[in-house]
Amino acid sequence: MIHSVLPAISVHPSSSLEPSDPFSAPFIIVNNGSFSIYDVKISFPVNYLKTAKQSGEADVTLTDSDLIVDGANEIKSHASLTTFLAFNRIFGEMGKLEKSDIELTIKYRPKFIPHVFKKSFNFYSHQASDGTVTWLPY
């Protein structure tokens, strides 16, 4: 019975809107629970991110950074929220992604429980033979 009132959150990375830019990939956050969740805060803690230096671009390496990128007052039961990695918006063009290890962390408050919950999902970048980069869960 208690499992039916607890939130059930899932995250699914989607294909990049621009195949050459993995930072344009949307992440779909789904509330699979029976009740709405509130005060949703979404951040992307960066465990490691390295880009290759291109002509005229700076080489970027981030470690242990926490970027709060999105949020919502409410995600209704069986509804979703789409969010994006905001690295290009924050840092400008970052060059070609070489390697990354990121988290998507969600903080939220369930309807009947006055406690803030935190759930993290880990992803790493994978480069296909055609050069497109996708995000895969650990």
Q: Is residue 137 assigned to a domain?
A: no
Q: Which residues of the chain have pLDDT under 50?
A: 1, 55-59
Question: Is 33 inside a domain boundary?
Answer: yes
57 part of a folded domain? no
Which DSSP helix (H) or strand (E) runs through 110? strand 96-110
Domain that holds residue 107: 2-44+65-94+101-126
Q: Residue 49 domain-assigned?
A: no
- Residue 48, pLDDT score: 79
- Residue 58 covered by a domain: no
Provide the domain count of the chain.
Answer: 1
Number of H-type helices and E-type strands within the chain: 1, 9
The residue to which tokens 């290009």 are assigned: 88
Is position 138 within any domain?
no
pLDDT for 23 equals 76
The span from the CA of 134 to the CA of 70, in Å, is 21
pLDDT in tens, 55-70: 444 445 555 555 566 7
Q: Residue 40 in contact with residue 71, Cβ under 8 Å?
A: yes
**Residue 12 lies inside a defined structural domain of this protein:** yes
- Is 53 inside a domain boundary? no
Span 36-45, pLDDT tens digits: 999 998 887 7
Residue 14: CATH number of its domain: 2.60.40.1940
